[in-house]
Amino acid sequence: MIRHLPLILKLRASRAKREHMGWEATSEGIRINKLFGSRELSYADIKSIRLNSRGYMFTTKDEEEITLKCGLGIEVGPLYEALAKYNISYIDENEAEPGRQLYDIDEVNSKAAEVKEYASSIINPKVKERFGEEFDIDLQIEPVDNFIDMYFCLRKNGEGVQFFEAFDDMVIAFLVEWEAGCGRGRYGLTVEADDREACAKAVEGAFEYLCEHYK
- Write down all domains in the chain, each with its CATH number in brackets: 7-92 (2.30.29), 105-213 (no CATH)
Determine the pLDDT at residue 84: 93
Contacts of 128 (CB under 8 A, 6+ apart): 135, 136
Contact status, residue 177 vs residue 91, Cβ threshold 8 Å: yes
Give pLDDT, residue 74: 84
CA atoms within 13 A on the CB side of 151: 16
Cα–Cα distance measured from residue 62 to residue 23, given in angstroms and rounded to the nearest whole number: 21
Q: What is the residue-level pLDDT of the chain in tens, covering all 215 positions?
A: 344 434 333 333 333 333 445 899 999 999 998 777 788 999 999 999 999 999 999 999 999 999 999 887 788 999 999 999 999 999 999 999 888 899 999 999 999 999 999 999 999 999 999 999 999 999 999 998 899 999 999 999 999 999 999 999 999 999 999 999 888 999 999 999 999 999 999 999 999 999 999 97
Exposure class string for 57-78: b at 16+ Cβ within 10 A, else e: bbbeeeeeebbbbbeeebebeb
Number of C-beta neighbours around residue 29 at 10 A = 19
**Could you tell me the CA-to-CA distances from 28 to 45, 80, 120 in Å, in that order?**
11, 12, 39
pTM: 0.83
- Would strands 168-179 and 89-92 be described as parallel, antiparallel, or unpaired? antiparallel
pLDDT at 183: 87
Which pLDDT score is estimated for 98?
A: 85
Exposure string over 155-180, b if 16+ CB within 10 A, otherwise e: beeeeebeebebbbbbbbbbbbbbee
40 Rama sector, left if φ>0, alpha if ψ -120 to 50, beta otherwise: beta
Residue whose C-alpha is closest to residue 90's, from 101, 98, 81, 99: 81
Rg for the chain, CA atoms, rounded: 20
